[in-house]
Amino acid sequence: MVLYLLFESASGYALFHAYGIRKIGQSVDAVRSTLLDLKRFRRAIKLDGFTPFMSAVDALSQCNAISEGIMTDKLRNFLELYLPKEIPGKKATFTVGVMEPKVGSHITEATGITCQSDDYIQELLRAVRLHFGQLFDKLKPYDLEKSQLDLGHSYSRVKVKSNANRVDNMMTQAIFLLDTLDRDVNFFSMRVRKWYGWHFPELVKIVNDNYLYAKLAKFVVNKSDLSEEDIPALADLIGDEDKAKQIVEAAKASMGQDLSPVGLINVQQFSQRVMNLSDYRKNLYEYLVTKMNDIAPNLTSLIGEMIGARLISHAGSLSNLAKFPSSTLQILGAEKALFRALKTGGNIPKHGIIFYSSFIRRASTKNKGKMARYLANKCSIASRVDCYSDMSSSILGEKMREQVEERLDFLEKGVAPCKNLVVMKAAVERMTNTVSEEDKEENVGIFAKKKKSETETDDDTMDLDKPAMHSTLCT
């Protein structure tokens, strides 16, 4: 069978006919010496066709298509022009070696041309890349290096730019920072309690909230300075007048030791730092909620902002999460337990990150696995809709959340849920109505603006005609 090699260079597509190298009876190591020797390689390969890229933009688009495994129209026309014509109904007489298997499969599906991509073909294409400047005499080495450098910079710039502007990447960093802040705020709050507890130990029993405790430590500072006059200020601070009175009474009979002025200042400053971290954590959470509603509205409506963000962050991106099957999404986050179970022959985990969902926690022990499987199925559908849909809407996620609630009632109480087909039809109709209403509002706004502009024009025309009409009537 005749072998052709498709080589994608920075200057254009090239097709080589490999007629002097036989794969049968030869390993990759055996032909490597032939591939490295230019004189011997020239006798084994011949350039059959070459089509250049018309511009740098064309080269970049073709390079992006190859990296994504897509055959462009330019590549298809090139192959149909230089490859021999196949007779329908007969066995293929040639095969095309390609570097990327995805491109080869796409070429085979679209044109029926048999493609091959294995270690042997890749070694041949590496040799073509090594000697391409000498095999193609019309292209100067300086031009080839310049086109490779320009295309490499453009391709890298596009990839880095698209990766930097991904919104889900910002959300992934936000959830990581949010988890770090939770640990730090809890640790620092306990440190404030232990530090200020030496001075005012009774305050721990009165106030349980860490943020409120830090505010009181900053406000009170020295317990000996508290009096009845501070009760209104304390009540405004904690929102409870009874607790404010308890704090003042506890300060009068406190058993804590006195701290030096420098120690009290340090406690006050450290309490302020804890309060600042808590405020920043609150703002970051609001930012995360907003971004999740923009990026994955259906997944957010179904499972919540925090769990949805953790799923996306663990998968790497929303597109990666959308490509996962529901069985993988179900145990996402429990990889160590899964591999340990496979190694030791133990029980495979039934849930990972989605265990923290309220649906799983509300289910009974015997139904947790069923709920995890059903919830993972819905999360997989929601992530795919959010990733590949052009319309940003949470209607489908709300409907699927209702389905999960009905499934939980069915497992716990035996209440029959609605059929999936009925629910999906209702969701699609609601989404269609929403889109039509938005289009109607836009059309009404455009019509109102147009009508207003026509009215202004008519008014101007009437104002110009009024003097003429008046003079005619007078005559």
Residue 38 has pLDDT above 60, yes or no: yes
Give the model's pLDDT for residue 458.
44
The crossing angle, in degrees rounded to 10, of helices 231-238 and 210-220 is 160
Higher pLDDT, 187 or 22: 187
Higher pLDDT, 29 or 310: 310
Q: Give 170-289's CATH code, choosing from 3.40.50.1240, 3.40.190.150, 1.10.287.4070, 3.60.15.10.
A: 1.10.287.4070
Sheet of 94-97: strand order equals 45-52, 12-18, 2-8, 94-97, 115-116
Domain 2-164 belongs in CATH node 1.20.1330.10: no
Residue 469 has pLDDT above 50, yes or no: no
Residue 472 has pLDDT above 50, yes or no: no
Output phi, psi for 445, to 5 deg: -65, -40
Give the model's pLDDT for residue 461.
38
CATH topology of domain 296-431: Serum Albumin; Chain A, Domain 1 (1.10.246)
Give the model's pLDDT for residue 327.
92
Higher pLDDT, 255 or 22: 255
pTM for the full predicted model: 0.61
Residue 413 has pLDDT above 90, yes or no: no
Q: How far is CA 334 from CA 326, 349, 357, 475, in A?
A: 14, 7, 15, 97
Give the model's pLDDT for residue 184.
93
Least confident of 65-74, 271-280, 399-408: 65-74
Give tens-digit pLDDT for 331-345. Answer: 999 999 999 998 898
Give the model's pLDDT for residue 404.
93
Instruction: Answer yes or no: are the C-beta atoms of 269 and 282 closer than 8 Å.
Output: no
Residue 383 has pLDDT above 90, yes or no: yes
Residue 261 has pLDDT above 70, yes or no: yes
* Sign of the alpha-carbon dihedral angle for 261, 263, 266, 267: negative
Higher pLDDT, 458 or 369: 369
Residue 450 has pLDDT above 50, yes or no: no
Higher pLDDT, 474 or 297: 297
Burial class (CB in 10 A: 0-12, 13-18, 19+), 75: buried
Most confident residue range from 29-38, 82-91, 309-318: 309-318
Q: For residues 98-132, b (16+ Cβ closer than 10 Å) or e, as one string? A: bbbeebbebbbeebebbbbbeebbbbbbebbeebb
Residue 307 has pLDDT above 50, yes or no: yes
Give the model's pLDDT for residue 143.
75
Q: Whole-number mean pLDDT of the chain? A: 83
Give the model's pLDDT for residue 470.
35
Residue 201 has pLDDT above 70, yes or no: yes
Average pLDDT over residues 359-375: 92
What confidence tier does 312 reach under pLDDT thresholds 50, 70, 90? very high
- Domain spans in the chain, listed from the N-terminal domain onward: 2-164, 170-289, 296-431
What confidence tier does 462 reach under pLDDT thresholds 50, 70, 90? very low
Residue 448 has pLDDT above 70, yes or no: no
Give CA–CA dist 381/396, Å, rounded: 9
